[in-house]
Amino acid sequence: MRVTAQELAILLDAKIEGNPKAIVNKLVKIEEADRDSLCFIANPKYEHYAETTHAGVLVVSENSLLKNKNGTTFLRVKDPYNSFAILLEKFSTESTAIKRGIEQPSFIHESANIHPTAYIGAFSYIGSNVTVGEGVKVYPNCYIGDSVSIEKNSTISAGVKIHRDSLLGERCIIHSGVVIGSDGFGFAPQKDGSFIKVPQTGNVKIGNDVEIGANTVIDRATLGSTLIKDGAKLDNLVQIAHNVEVGSHSVIAAQAGVSGSTKLGKHVMVGGQAGFVGHIQIADGVKINAQSGVSKSIENPGASISGSPAEPFRQHYKNIAHTRKIGELMDRIEKLEKILSKN
C-alpha cells in the first residue's frame, strides 16, 4: 500500500514536520529503513538511529528532542507505541485466509454445540457438551474437554489443551501449547511419607479479552474456580496454580509463577521469572520486578517490589548498593582498630 505523510497524520492525529506529500509503502524497523519506509521510535534507546536514517516518514513522540534531517518527514504523536499498534494493523497484509468450517478429520462429540461460523481445525477433539461460539477459531491438534465453553470470537491456536468445565470469554487469544484446567498440585501427606492425591474438582474461568502465551499452564481449582479476569495478559511459560485469581488488566511476563490461592488485584504488572508463594493478596496496580520472590501480601496499591525475598524497590536497590560497600567498611573498621590498638 502507498500512503502519504498527510494521510498518516490524519490517521494518527499527528503534527507533520517536513513534507506532507512524502510517500511510503512499507512499515519497517528503523535500522533497515530506506526512502520508501515508514518507521517508529517508541523506545528512547533507539533514538540514535534518527541521526542517520533515510526513512521517508518517522513517527516520534511529541515530547522528543529529535529534529528531522536527511529529508525524513517527522510525524509527532502523543504515544508512538500506540500509533505503531494502529499502523501495524493497517499495514499487515492478512497473510492467513479467514478460517471457517470444520476440517476433516476432526472429532466432534454429538452433544457439542458448534456455531456455524466457527472454525474447527483437523485433528482437533471436541468433547461432550462443549459450546463453541460465533466466530471462534479452534486451530488443528487441539483438545477441548467435556463441558468446556468458548465464547464468541475467541481464537484457540494449534495444540492447545482445555480440560473439562473450563469457561472462556469473548475475544480471548490462547496460544499454542497452553494447558487450561489441568489438575492443581494437591497432595495430603501420609504418616509413611507417601501422599494421597487431593481431587481437583473445580474449574478455570477466563474473562473477555484475555491473551495467554504459548506453553503457559493454568490449573483448575480444588474447589470453586481459578480466575483470569477481563483483559489480563499472560506471556509464555507462565504457571498459574489452583485457586489463583488474576485481576482484570493485569499483565504477567514470561516464566513467572503464581502459587495456589494467591490473588492478584487489577492492573498488577509482574516481571519475567518472578514467583509468588501461595495464599497471599497483591493490591491493585502493584509492580513486581523480574525474578522477584514475593513471600507475603502487598497491601499498598501501586507499590513497586523487587528482590527475593521481595521488598520495596528503593529498599532493595539501597541494599544492593550497601552490599557493594562492605569491603570498604571492612577497611575502615580495620583502620579504626589499628588506631585504637595504638592508644
Tell me the catalytic residues. 242
Compare residues 6 and 182 and give the one whose CB is closer to a second copy.
182
82 touching a second copy, by CB under 8 A = yes
State the nearest-atom distance from the C-beta of 288 to a second copy, in Å: 13
In 3-state terms, what secondary structure has residue 37?
A: strand
Compare residues 17 and 125 and give the one whose CB is closer to a second copy.
125
State which of positions 169-208 bind a second copy (CB under 8 A).
173, 175-177, 179, 182-183, 185-188, 190, 193-199, 201
Q: Are 215 and 233 in contact (CB under 8 A)?
A: no
63 touching a second copy, by CB under 8 A = no
29 touching a second copy, by CB under 8 A = yes
d(Cα 202, Cα 126) in Å, to the nearest integer? 20
User: Which residue, among 37, 32, 89, 92, has the nearest Cα to 59 in the 3D structure?
Assistant: 37
Member of 6, 117, 273, 304 binding a second copy (CB under 8 A): 273
Question: Which span (9-17, 57-65, 69-77, 101-109) binds a second copy, by CB under 8 A?
Answer: 101-109
Measure the CA dihedral 6/11/12/14, to 10°. Answer: 30
99 touching a second copy, by CB under 8 A = no
Q: Are 247 and 234 in contact (CB under 8 A)?
A: no
Give the DSSP H/E element, type plus range, for residue 7.
Answer: helix 5-12
Member of 245, 275, 283, 286 binding a second copy (CB under 8 A): 275
Member of 61, 149, 226, 255 binding a second copy (CB under 8 A): 255
235 touching a second copy, by CB under 8 A = yes
Compare residues 17 and 103 and give the one whose CB is closer to a second copy.
103
Member of 11, 23, 102, 158 binding a second copy (CB under 8 A): 158
State the nearest-atom distance from the C-beta of 271 to a second copy, in Å: 9
Compare residues 67 and 334 and give the one whose CB is closer to a second copy.
334
d(Cα 119, Cα 156) in Å, to the nearest integer? 10
Sign of CA pseudo-dihedral 43, 47, 53, 57: positive
Member of 14, 27, 66, 148 binding a second copy (CB under 8 A): 27
In the block, residue with C-alpha cell 479452534: 138
Compare residues 9 and 77 and give the one whose CB is closer to a second copy.
77
For 335, list phi and psi in degrees, rounded to 5: -60, -45
Q: Beta-carbon neighbour count of residue 19 at 10 Å?
A: 16
Member of 161, 205, 263, 287 binding a second copy (CB under 8 A): 161
d(Cα 11, Cα 83) in Å, to the nearest integer? 9
d(Cα 126, Cα 140) in Å, to the nearest integer? 11
Sign of CA pseudo-dihedral 6, 12, 17, 18: negative
Give the DSSP H/E element, type plus range, for residue 74.
Answer: strand 73-77
303 touching a second copy, by CB under 8 A = no
302 touching a second copy, by CB under 8 A = no
23 touching a second copy, by CB under 8 A = no
Question: Which span (16-24, 55-63, 92-100, 110-118) binds a second copy, by CB under 8 A?
Answer: 92-100
User: Which residue, among 219, 123, 112, has the nearest Cα to 162 in the 3D structure?
Assistant: 219
33 touching a second copy, by CB under 8 A = no
State the nearest-atom distance from the C-beta of 196 to a second copy, in Å: 6
Residue 261 makes CB contacts below 8 A (sequence gap 6+) with 241, 242, 243, 244, 278, 279
State which of positions 102-121 bind a second copy (CB under 8 A).
103, 105, 107, 121
